[in-house]
Amino acid sequence: MIKSMIRFILLIVITLTGSGSWIQPAIFRDEPAIATAVVDPFITAQTIAMRPDYVTDLTYQDWDRYTIQIQLDPAALQLSGNLTVRLTNRTTVDFDTIWFHLYPNHPDFGGRLDVTSARIDDIPVSSRTLHNDTLIGLQTPHPIAPGQSTTVTMTFTARTPRNASRKSFGAYNLEAGVWSIASFYPMLARYIEGIGWDTRPIVSRGDFTVSAIALYDVTVEAPVDWQLVTSGSQLEQHILADGRQRVRFVSGPQREFYLAALQGLVATSADVDGTRVISYVQANDPDAGARSLAIATTALRIFNQRFGAYPYAEFEIIQAALTQFYGMEYPGVVLIEQRLYQRNDHLLETTIAHEIGHQWWYGLVGNDAQGEAWLDEGLASYSQILYYEMIDNLTQAQAELDAFRAAYRRLRERGGDAPLATPPSELGNGRYVPVVYAKGALFFHALRQQIGEAAFNDFLQGYVTAARYREIAGPDLLRAAEEACACTLDAMFHNWVITAEPVTIP
């Protein structure tokens, strides 16, 4: 991580109302703001994690705030710590229970996360769990009214497996010098207006995490010989009397906080449009580090141009033992399966481009990955094609498109087609990837053909501008596309997304 001086800014206050979909008018950077002489230390600390031109995003909304302190014990594969969440009820109903996800308790993680105490507004509270301890509900000592803020504090412990990527989720595992500790803390569930808290059981198919934007301030204690890599940026580091290190990280507005501790990996770095890009690879293959860094910097630069600016000060890419999948995205960090670095084909390049695409489609523009996975996976997959087009490798762009066509065609031939809006839980029998990734990517290619190149570019830019830091659903995407083309796309959306009509493969 990069250590630098905190940028001092005169903070602005922007008041937003409501929550959920971005049906509300978008807030743009040049709207009038009210200056205040009251400097919020939490927000001021966060500025180091943002590119200077995007520091004002920190006050785009009164974000929920996580403050976490943890101690890592790599030898025991354990961590322990405490968490404080300051959250605001942005709904129209009182809260009598506040729900948190405990993702490591899902069987696919192969580990454990236990909450050992809980308080709300400094009052001890009772709790209950659902779905094999993957959700914990804290009963509030008094109703939390709409517009009211409250503070939740918890202590917790967690443990991960070792060398388990062949049988469990490789992003929660110590293997090949990477202790990847994804989703290690109790994570606030979303509240969906008109529906309630998102307390669905977690399905294994697709991405696990569904979360809203928050700010993070995380302090980690660990042995000094472990390199810490996280979402966000390093604010300060201290070497303790016992030889351990205490490192503080801050995030900017993001959907979750990722943490890894590395041993034996080497780093290379470069700057892209004000963002520091760092690639970590195993020490026995330094050429792989240069290659992955070159791909990552190219992809970030291209997507900045095509989608709109990546607003954060850092981005990191880690060679890791994932085994069962090629890549995994987190805010500001992506993991890439280690075997891809030794291949001579385009799979490493394609995977890095895909996962960096997720920094927009999932990171900046959020969606329900457990309900409408095509919204991020389909567009991240289509970003692979856009990447190759923009580096003028039209042969590989065509190859990517042909691969999606072939996968979707095989799905249809065996009678497995399904609407894009189908939840992952209903896409068994090998249908998840060809529907969500292949058909999803082909939808965006068909959209591009129907509305034209100029309107499609306007759609991508306008979609990010309007939906930045929000969670959207299929109808929101439809509205953004129709605004870009000044046309009606109901029939196309119906045939591809709502039903499984026999559409023409573009």
Please tell me the distance from the alpha carbon of residue 52 to that of residue 309, in angstroms, as a whole number: 12
The single-letter code of the amino acid at 358 is: H
Dihedral angle sign, alpha carbons of residues 114, 119, 124, 130: negative
Look at 13-22, 296-305, 414-423, 436-445 and tell me which has the smallest mean pLDDT.
13-22
299 pLDDT above the threshold of 80: yes
The enclosing H or E element of 280 equals strand 275-282
What stretches of 121-188 adopt beta strand conformation (E)? 123-124, 127-130, 135-144, 149-159, 172-175, 178-181, 187-188
358 is annotated as contributing to ligand binding: yes
pLDDT band at 194 (very low <50, low <70, confident <90, very high): confident
Nearest to 291 by CA among 276, 270, 312: 270
453-467 helix and 440-451 helix, angle to the nearest 10 degrees:
120
Please tell me the distance from the alpha carbon of residue 191 to that of residue 60, in angstroms, as a whole number: 20
101 is annotated as contributing to ligand binding: no
Name beta bridge partners: 69: 82, 219
Contacts of residue 63, Cβ cutoff 8 Å, sequence gap at least 6: 213, 214, 215, 253
pLDDT band at 193 (very low <50, low <70, confident <90, very high): confident
So what's the pLDDT on residue 286? 77
What stretches of 36-103 adopt beta strand conformation (E)? 64-73, 78-88, 95-101
Please tell me the distance from the alpha carbon of residue 166 to that of residue 324, in angstroms, as a whole number: 6
pLDDT digits (tens, 9 = 90+) for 250-276: 999 999 999 999 999 999 999 999 999
The mean pLDDT value of the chain amounts to 92
Neighbours of 395 (CB within 10 A): 8
So what's the pLDDT on residue 4? 33
pLDDT digits (tens, 9 = 90+) for 458-476: 999 999 999 999 999 999 9
494 is annotated as contributing to ligand binding: no
The two structure tokens encoding residue 423: 């939840």
pLDDT band at 165 (very low <50, low <70, confident <90, very high): very high
So what's the pLDDT on residue 344? 85
So what's the pLDDT on residue 287? 86
In the chain, what are the domains? 63-261 (2.60.40.1730), 374-498 (1.10.390.10)
Catalytic residues: 355, 437
What mean pLDDT do residues 490-500 have?
Answer: 97
Look at 139-148, 170-179, 190-199 and tell me which has the smallest mean pLDDT.
190-199
pLDDT digits (tens, 9 = 90+) for 57-76: 999 889 999 999 999 999 99
Query: Which 3-state string (H, E, C) describes 436-501?
Result: HHHHHHHHHHHHHHHHCHHHHHHHHHHHHHHHCCEEECHHHHHHHHHHHHCCCCHHHHHHHHHCCC
Neighbours of 190 (CB within 10 A): 18
324 pLDDT above the threshold of 90: yes
Nearest to 370 by CA among 202, 180, 170: 202
What mean pLDDT do residues 150-166 have?
Answer: 98
So what's the pLDDT on residue 181? 98
5 pLDDT above the threshold of 50: no
Length of the chain as a residue count: 506
The two structure tokens encoding residue 290: 């240069």
Report the Cα 158 to chain-centroid distance in Å.
21
Q: Are 237 and 8 a contacting pair, CB within 8 Å? A: no
Tokens 């065996």 correspond to 414
Phi, psi for 384 (deg, rounded to 5): -60, -45
Phi, psi for 316 (deg, rounded to 5): -130, 145
Please tell me the distance from the alpha carbon of residue 486 to that of residue 455, in angstroms, as a whole number: 9
pLDDT band at 380 (very low <50, low <70, confident <90, very high): very high
399 pLDDT above the threshold of 50: yes
So what's the pLDDT on residue 19? 30
Please tell me the distance from the alpha carbon of residue 203 to that of residue 187, in angstroms, as a whole number: 17
